[in-house]
Amino acid sequence: MSSRSHTRCALTFAAVAALLAGCPAGQGEGWVGGSVYVQNCSTSGDSLDQAQDNYELNATFFAGDPVLDFNEVVAERRSTVTVRVQETSNRAEESDGLVLQFGDVAAAARAFAQRQLIGASSCFDLSGRCASANSVYRAQFNLYNSCPSNRSLLTASTHEIVRGPAPNAPGECLLPPVAPPPAQPALAACPTLSDADRAALDKLCEGDFNDRAANEAEVVRLLGQGSVFNADRTVGHACLYLCTFGEAQRGQDPNELLGFHFDYGDRLSALFYLNFVDARAMTLGECSRARAQIAGMISFEMVRSRAAQSFP
């Protein structure tokens, strides 16, 4: 095998060992909530639209799936980790849930060390896979339990949607102002922060991750600056701030984080504010059937729950 080949390995044996050792599978702390609109949202066949200004995920299940890159050229390693936060431990297609896919954990670790915000990739296609394999992270929001009839692919993006004439139909709807992508995002992935803002984020990192009532307004103020969510326009940041990221340390030399990877048992803690758009609508220039702006705080140890859990 070439020394430059990218060999990747999911930590299956580590997961089994963790379960046998009695690790608390799927446990963590935190909250996920915000504003959600879904067209034809139905749990009983009534096909009613649903708009929730105070949606809450009621997260009880936290899991992560690290994949190691064993490329012998350390600087070229792109280890990954997929994080899933769900309301239940059911399969993804049976539960509401948030999925964070870190495509380059070494880059994320460097951002953590330097107290930098990390913007979600805004590129997507109908498969939900970004064209750039090395994007630091992407995010997806699923509403399979709250709205089982909805199959819109809600993908984190700063692309704007506005009310205008419906394509090839009478009336108006919410649609991307430029179609098809790439359209220029109306906002940067992350807001510009002052030193005081970073100090406020660090204070949140040291607080109670389960207290949504005390912390949500501050998370939105710091990470959601300039975001809009109403009947005529939706635009927002898609941004994340890491509080704990495995064995990475604040102020650590970036050169020490080349080849960084996650192991089971490592902790991940983060604050986020994510604008979600309908990927199909953005790609095809169609009416948007779903949108959301979700904030949250999560903290958990990287433990995979069980073999039945599939990861995207």
Beta-ladder partners of 159 = none
Distance CA 175, CA 156 (A): 16
Q: Establish if 22 belongs to a structural domain.
A: yes
Domain count, the chain: 1
Q: Where are the beta strands (DSSP E) in the chain?
A: 8-10, 28-41, 48-56, 61-69, 80-86, 96-102, 118-119, 137-143, 154-156, 161-165, 172-175, 228-229, 233-235, 238-245, 267-278, 290-301
Q: Establish if 113 belongs to a structural domain.
A: yes
Percent of the chain clearing pLDDT 70 (strictly above) = 76
Q: Establish if 79 belongs to a structural domain.
A: yes
Question: In 3D, which of 214, 215, 224, 227 has the Cα closest to residue 193?
Answer: 224
pLDDT at 108: 94
Question: What is the enclosing helix (H) or strand (E) of 57?
Answer: none
Alpha helices in the chain (DSSP H): 12-20, 105-113, 195-205, 212-223, 279-284
Q: Establish if 105 belongs to a structural domain.
A: yes
Q: Establish if 311 belongs to a structural domain.
A: no
Report residue 225 as tokens: 């600056």
Q: Establish if 309 belongs to a structural domain.
A: no
Full domain range(s) for residue 206: 8-301
pLDDT below 70 — which residues of the chain? 1-25, 42-51, 72-77, 122-134, 178-186, 304-312
pLDDT at 311: 47
pLDDT at 78: 73
Q: Establish if 306 belongs to a structural domain.
A: no
DSSP-derived secondary structure letter, 4: T
Q: Establish if 219 belongs to a structural domain.
A: yes
| Cα dihedral 76/254/83/40 (nearest 10) | -90
pLDDT at 281: 84
148 within 8 A of 96, measured Cβ to Cβ: no
pLDDT at 149: 78
pLDDT at 242: 98
Distance CA 31, CA 98 (A): 11
